[in-house]
Amino acid sequence: MKLKEERLCRIVILFFAFQICFMFIIRTSSPLQDHITWRSTKVMRSLSSLPISKLPVQHDASKLSSKISLSSSRHLSSNPNLIEPSIHCDQSHRLYDWCHLRSPTILDPKRATFSSRSLSPSMNPPIVEKVRPYPRKTDINSMSNIREITLTTKLSHSPCTIVHDTPALVFSIGGYTGNFFHDFNDGFVPLFITINTLFPDQEVTLVITNYTEWWYGKYEAILPQFSSRPIINLDNQTVSHCFPSVVAGLITHGPMTINPNLMPHRKSFIDFHALLEEGYRKCLVWPPPKIKSKPRLVLVSRSGAVGRVILNQDNVIKAAQEEGFDVVIFEPSAYTYLCDVYRLINGSHAIMGVHGAALTHSLFLQPGAAFIQVVPLGGDWLARTYFRNLAKGMKLEYMEYKVQPEESSLVEKYGKDHIMIRDPNSITNTNWSALHNIYLRSQDVRLDIGRFRSCLKMAYAKAKRSMEHQGLHVKRRPKIKKFIRPPVFSYTYGVI
């Protein structure tokens, strides 16, 4: 009897020992399952509308939790064995390319090359993609000066000098950077779109090529709103940097456009304006002119041989004052201190000026403010494409004043019957050089005050409504007894 009990005990012990061994074998094999789950396709195209967290994989990604998907880059950085390196690209758009190297990666700054550091063996030959990370890819002149970035799945065994725990986003500030319009249209707006499309719930490290110190100084106030991590100037690096993954290139929705339908969280120009407000409200600034119980109109002035100068500007100012505006003349320059300018324009209720890059300052207005764009001859397409889009996205009260032939200085040169005067669109639609050199650079305007006054009346009504919406009292319009030209505000790094 005793012998039978001992045998029974041995059988029970062996049974439990077998169960423990079986569970151990199953548990140690689970990383292989993870590796299979995260294995991704080699190169994907036309993926601009998808965030990185939702890029296609060979297996059923819908079964993965959203938390895991959104943290894929962080997941990979701590578990490099879980994925075979791959590159996903969108090269289908006429304005931009972008590529994503899904792998722990190391930057060789001398060659501007990001290589894989994944320990997962690949049975395929290395993939190499080259990107010029500036969103004007059909513009040969601007793209020729943009540094080319290389992404490759080829394994690098070089050691990491600096290790980052956030993905890298690489872009260029070359091209037309320096023109205030292009700084936003080709730079900050696409950067906002890209971060909120590909990294909607992640922090990134900005890696910038074609870098200039003046650019950083000018926009230092808003750069931390895009990323709290220190910016990396790719052009002067001498050591290697390692990242969980890397994206090279910026996404654009078109000229001065943010399409909420293409964004995971439906971000819009209103959100972009909030980002600017968050940055510029922290600046130390000179106080803007006090609001004098009447709507403030910022007249964006042009002077010198730059084209599109309002030749009878004093008459325009007087008419605006007669309609009830407090007029401020603003002449921006390359050295304009944007913190002060933001306070001036954000506290104003209307802006006006002839089509030009300086009207980009309308981004600083509050929604509901009035925006008058004076459109010179030949400028219809530019006005419609750029600042009308911006005004719509910003929910501004937009108005256009289209210059007639008799208001253009070009009549004196070509005569009113010349085709350049009678049908400027037939010239500008096919000849960019003529648009730039004749209609933009060689044309000044003399506004018909009687006709322009009706535009001012509408703008005043909208600006007054905006002011009242802010809870500000508006006094009745006094009669202008004597014209006094207002001072010119040209903020230059804090000095008025």
65 beta partners: none
What whole-number distance in Å separates Cα of residue 410 and Cα of residue 80?
A: 65
CB-based contact 194:250 (threshold 8 Å)? yes
Q: What are phi and psi of 384, to 5 degrees?
A: -70, -40
Q: In what order do the strands lie in the sheet with 168-172?
A: 86-90, 98-102, 246-248, 168-172, 205-209, 232-233
Give burial (CB, 10 Å; 0-12/13-18/19+) of 160. Answer: middle
Structure tokens at 341: 């300018």
Q: Kindly give the confidence (pLDDT) of every residue in the chain, 496 residues in length, as a single tens digit, with 9 standing for 90 and above.
A: 545 556 656 665 666 565 555 454 433 333 322 322 222 333 333 333 344 433 332 223 222 222 223 333 333 334 544 578 999 999 999 999 999 999 999 999 999 999 999 877 667 889 999 999 999 999 999 999 999 999 999 999 999 999 999 999 999 999 999 999 999 999 999 999 999 999 998 999 999 999 999 999 999 999 999 999 999 999 999 999 999 999 999 999 999 999 999 999 999 999 999 999 999 988 866 666 677 789 999 999 998 888 999 999 999 999 999 999 999 999 988 788 899 899 999 999 999 999 999 999 999 999 999 999 999 999 998 998 999 999 999 999 999 999 999 999 999 999 999 999 999 988 888 888 888 899 999 999 999 999 999 999 999 999 999 988 888 878 776 677 678 888 787 655 443 3
CB-based contact 489:330 (threshold 8 Å)? yes
Number of C-beta neighbours around residue 353 at 10 A: 22
